[in-house]
Amino acid sequence: MSLKNMEQNSVRYRPRRKNNETRMRCETERLTNNAEPRRKKSTRRRRICDLLAHVPTFLVRFLRLLSFVMFLLPAFVVFVWYYVIAGDRVAVYYGKKNKARDPIFSRHILDIYGSRSPSPSGDEKKPVVIFVTGGAWIIGYRMWGCLLGRALAPFGVIVVIPDYTNFPKANIEGMVEDVDRSIQWTFDNIHKYGGDQSRVVLVGQSAGAHIGGVVVALKALDHIRRDYRNLETTYTPQQLRGFISTSSPSNLVTMRPVFHNHGLSESVQRSIFGGTAVDNEVFEKWSPFHIIEKCQTKCEGNLGDFFPKICIVHGTADKTVPVSEAYAFEKLLKRLGVQHTSRIYEGWSHTDPILEAPMRGNHKYHRDVLDLVRQWTGEDRTKVFPTNFDEHHPHLG
């Protein structure tokens, strides 16, 4: 074959090869486009099946919750009556924005209990408790702390209970910022309501104890490093006379499967704690346990100097957050030299300290909180106080 014929054949077959490549590319794109709807349909089908598989469990838990509410309905009526009408309570805006510009039904409101009640000790300024309520980071509301405010106000304690933005309107970062800002507001303004800003104790329950623990740990970390600030507020962790952590999930890594088994799925957990990664990094970032460990790696002196006194409170019958969480957290604090104590309540559930026990007339938790406040704030115990918690104390009006 001549060279001229070879060149002609080469030119003749090139377009055909190009057409074949184009045809194959189009076929690949067609198959890919057809596979995408099937993949989405398969994912949707799996999600629906997963949802249906949990329906029986959901119904059982819903019926249990409904029964619980029905049995406690008379107590809840008294509870709501005190909160709405009969309590020594003042609602105050603490948000960063101007109140007029904040949305209606703003979560940047805090309740102050005891500002109008006379102090039995005769002190001009009263010690202050900031109580951060729980609610699985989803249903937290300041009214959940009503019974604690009712119990402590007659004993000359100001109780501040802030709201904070819940999920899905905010993730954990927004919640921490809200609680941190409410603490700063308390230091700056509580003297206007009869409180002593130099005698402030932070208390939290469940998710509220977790958020409070994150705030305390991040504050300590900020003052250890000094080159970077996690929180924009100016108070120091040492200004808090103490922190009472009640029924707290302090280690989010070990709590992941527990939450999942209780209906808080892995995807929801990752959404709450601000990340989509499947590993533990995002959970360690917002876990008091791991933040305190990080403090230790950055601290050159005594780590305990950067923390307020801590008390761990937990019930042995807690199925929401196992009591093993309290034991592990206490072991960590002991190993790192952070001053702490504990109160373990035999047979108490997750919400017994703030709900069921007070409604039964058992004020053990309230008494322990009051004793710790007096101890940490230097309250003079020789002064006259009411001897018992009374559901009809005259100061409660």
Question: pLDDT of 133-153, one tens digit each?
Answer: 999 999 889 988 989 998 999
Confidence band, pLDDT 50/70/90 cuts, at residue 371:
very high
**Gyration radius of the chain's alpha carbons:** 28
pLDDT at 69: 67
Query: Which has more pLDDT, 393 or 41?
Result: 41
Q: Quick one: what percent of the chain has pLDDT higher than 90?
A: 51
Given a cut of 70, is residue 200 above it in pLDDT?
A: yes
Q: Quick one: what percent of the chain has pLDDT higher than 70?
A: 75
Span 110-123, average pLDDT: 78
Given a cut of 80, is residue 124 above it in pLDDT?
A: no
pTM score, whole prediction:
0.80
Confidence band, pLDDT 50/70/90 cuts, at residue 36:
low
220-277 pLDDT per residue, tens: 999 988 777 889 899 999 999 999 999 999 999 999 999 988 888 888 888 899 776 5
Give me the chain's average pLDDT, please.
Answer: 83
CA atoms within a 13 Å half-sphere pointing along the CA-CB vector of 286: 25
pLDDT at 393: 45
pLDDT at 300: 79
pLDDT at 392: 47
**SS3 annotation, the chain:** CCHHHHHHHHHHHHHHHHHHHHHHHHHHHHHHHHHHHHHHHHHHHHHHHHHHHCHHHHHHHHHHHHHHHHHCHHHHHHHHHHHHHHCCEEEEECCCCCHHHCCCCCCCEEEEECCCCCCCCCCCCEEEEEEECCCCCCCCCHHHHHHHHHHHHHHCCEEEEECCCCCCCCCHHHHHHHHHHHHHHHHHHHHHHCEEEEEEEEEEECHHHHHHHHHHHHHHHHHHHCCCCCCCCCCCHHHEEEEEEECCCCCHHHHHHHHHHCCCCHHHHHHHCCCCCCCCHHHHHCCHHHHHHHHHHHCCCCHHHHCCEEEEEEECCCCCCCCHHHHHHHHHHHHHCCCEEEEEECCCCCCHHHHHHHHCCCCHHHHHHHHHHHHHHCCCCCCCCCCCCCCCCHHHC
284-330 pLDDT per residue, tens: 999 999 999 999 888 878 888 999 999 999 999 999 999 999 999 99
Given a cut of 90, is residue 183 above it in pLDDT?
A: yes
| Cβ-contact 179, 203 below 8 angstroms | no
pLDDT at 20: 62
